[in-house]
Structure 1
């Protein structure tokens, strides 16, 4: 009987894979699986020591060997299945990525997943197996197939990152998403936007005032632009001015939020890893997540305790909450939306403004073209700014080459049961599909001269855009970014206000012209490298 124990442990591992883990999704249960396996091992040690004679060391060594055989059977079965018998085994891609997403995590350990995926596209082609049950599609039609009007895809496991907390507009439940999306749409109505724009103009003027204090001197733009976007969101999001521009320093809880993004830059490809960290360990960057969530919770509670007559975004959700039964579930949705508002309405705009200013400094001819458009107009009038073709073309072109969503783990989908066909290639049902906006923006099948910065391709030279489907910086369909109008308004107002008064150039230094793109990190949203500029007063 004793001789059969090693074989039994090995077979138990194989049976666990085929009878359990081969079916369905397990990322939500990842923390429980880790805990249960650890507890089972400790219980076996206790049971073995109480029933079998011999030293504790011998018992422990024996059980470790049996547990190792169990794990060997489990992971050997998983490996053989994924490499040779999985339905995605016909797709090209790195063999180690097909074996485990941990390999993908290792490859983007420096948070440059956009370069990793670009390298894989260059090596393997349009359809690449980038995980055990994952295909990354580098095709102009990929975004339309994922989220277009005919799509029957569902959201992927990425959206369960903080389960069971409900981030309703990021929910995998379509009914919850559609219900809450209606509230977001109301909060972003034309009437509401008019009020937000008035607040936004005031913050842009404060921002420009900070620039004016250091004319002719090198200015580090990253922090300054972050302070601006957070102050804006605090104001028209929660009717609270964080005051970072006036104080010229970071608010500590917001630093926690920014730090927490770096965790996803590494582990976004394997979402079960941060889920274990969040649920069990809560160390390193994981604890910053919870400090950031606590901060958004404090903003919400302060707003609930205040009878504000001002129009802000969160007021629409509070109004809906006050009409509800006000139970824990309804409050969880309210709290989740407040967190989404703070998290997603800031970093993306910060990166977009940094990238736009980077290209204006890199290609001053386009800055001068925009200055010609701005002469004689009110640069604080958002509606007028939307009609300026070169300004809009410059923003679009900067978003094409360096999109704030470099890759789309927070945008990945699960194919419907009947599967999905893209350009004649069939992807089975229940498969996670992703793409990379960074790669799509540089496809020769979608753009003429794809590596060149040509704003005119978006208005006067449309022949340079072969396939418009490849360009969707704010997403498309029911999952498209509801904050697009306010984000575009911020970018336009900042660029117009600065260019109307100043010429822009990189500060002296060998790295300044390269650092934004060279040091960019993919942390769910793009985190550009350091941008240091010099502003000089315009003549005439």
Structure 2
């Protein structure tokens, strides 16, 4: 009877709680809570009568399994039969779990796989338990246009509590941060950036001239140029890659490159966040976060002659020490400059060279 009750409790917890709202931010807490409850139940069953520990463990284990069977059975039935997204075509695996699309993208060829799915199923394809892939031409205006009521998806919560202008899902927060950022792209600010990056342009041109007809890996050269530029704009200090173009890349640059690779698999956000909580798996990730934080602290102690982007972002602090929330935002914005800024620069320059 107790096993049936545990199964019913699992079904009830899904219907009344897990089926509602977003839960991707709490995966580690659910895991920890389950472990704590399991341990407490084991202690309550074992210690009063000093019963056999193995028997107590098996009893609690069976109850836990029954609870999980009830929970996931309810979840699967809902996603297969009752979910509103069932009216959209897609494979059964996609209805059950977002990990299905990650398996489909296992060769890091997501754009090809997405095209195949749309060729087979049409303009709207269900690619996850709560995800659609849309290829309708009018979707751009409907989803991203000025009249859109849509908000950013849960993927933007990947780095929470560290956030940036890009990752704010609340529109009012994004708009407030964008107003601060807008000052970083005024005419005066851009003229200042031109002065800052001129030395890097001169170094890159000098390297091209020094090649004297020898073939140059332009992809690598543009990459290290861009890292030096965005490092300067973000922290007032470059990575000095152009000084030694043939040497090994700065370890933080390597981590930034490598850190983007898991995104190619399009893992569910709950899975990615859970992985970042496992020390040996996320060691490099937290090392890079620490690097950005330390560079930011160092930059806050300096006052550059020619303002960088961080000069604008630090201005609202008016000289006082940032709170933990403000620090998370500044670190997030510095990563935004390093990541998004690098891609914009290298795409623009590559296009110019191609033309």
Gaps of 5+ in 2: none
CA–CA distance in structure 1, aligned partners of residues 24 and 236 of structure 2: 37
Distance 1:15 1:198, change over 3 A: same
Question: 113, 116, 125: which is aligned to 2:113?
Answer: 116
Distance 1:6 1:302, change over 3 A: same
Task: Encode CA deviations 1:235-270: one digit per residue, 9 max, x unaligned.
Answer: 23332122101122311122222222223233x440
Partner residue of 2:285?
289
Number of positions where the alignment pairs a residue of Structure 1 with one of Structure 2: 353
Alpha-carbon distance, 1:63 to partner: 2.4
Please show how residues 11-160 of structure 1 align to structure 2 within 5 Å. Answer: 11-51=8-48, 54-160=51-157
Runs of 4+, deviation exceeding 6 Å: none
CA–CA distance in structure 1, aligned partners of residues 205 and 138 of structure 2: 40
- Asked if the contact 1:186–1:316 (Cα under 8 Å) also holds between the matched residues in 2, the reply is yes
The answer on 1:308 being equivalent to 2:307 is no
Alpha-carbon distance, 1:76 to partner: 0.8
Partner residue of 2:275?
277
- Asked if the contact 1:16–1:74 (Cα under 8 Å) also holds between the matched residues in 2, the reply is yes
Alpha-carbon distance, 1:178 to partner: 0.6
CA–CA distance in structure 2, aligned partners of residues 301 and 323 of structure 1: 13
Alpha-carbon distance, 1:41 to partner: 1.7
- Asked if the contact 2:235–2:296 (Cα under 8 Å) also holds between the matched residues in 1, the reply is yes
- Asked if the contact 1:79–1:99 (Cα under 8 Å) also holds between the matched residues in 2, the reply is yes
Partner residue of 1:367?
none
- Asked if the contact 2:89–2:125 (Cα under 8 Å) also holds between the matched residues in 1, the reply is yes
Partner residue of 2:294?
298
TM-score (norm 2): 0.91
RMSD: 2.3
CA–CA distance in structure 2, aligned partners of residues 254 and 82 of structure 1: 41
Alpha-carbon distance, 1:183 to partner: 1.8
CA–CA distance in structure 1, aligned partners of residues 326 and 351 of structure 2: 36
Distance 1:10 1:100, change over 3 A: same
- Asked if the contact 1:13–1:71 (Cα under 8 Å) also holds between the matched residues in 2, the reply is yes
Distance 1:73 1:153, change over 3 A: same
Partner residue of 1:242?
239
- Asked if the contact 1:13–1:74 (Cα under 8 Å) also holds between the matched residues in 2, the reply is yes
- Asked if the contact 2:161–2:328 (Cα under 8 Å) also holds between the matched residues in 1, the reply is no
- Asked if the contact 1:82–1:98 (Cα under 8 Å) also holds between the matched residues in 2, the reply is yes
CA–CA distance in structure 1, aligned partners of residues 221 and 94 of structure 2: 39
Distance 1:95 1:216, change over 3 A: farther
Distance 1:90 1:196, change over 3 A: same
Task: Encode CA deviations 1:135-184: one digit per residue, 9 max, x unaligned.
Answer: 21111222222111111111111111121223234211222211111122
Whose strand proportion is higher, 1 or 2? 1
Please show how residues 190-209 of structure 1 align to structure 2 within 5 Å. Answer: 190-209=187-206
Task: Encode CA deviations 1:110-134: one digit per residue, 9 max, x unaligned.
Answer: 3332222222111111011111122
2:25 is paired with a residue whose SS is coil
The answer on 1:343 being equivalent to 2:342 is no
Distance 1:63 1:222, change over 3 A: farther
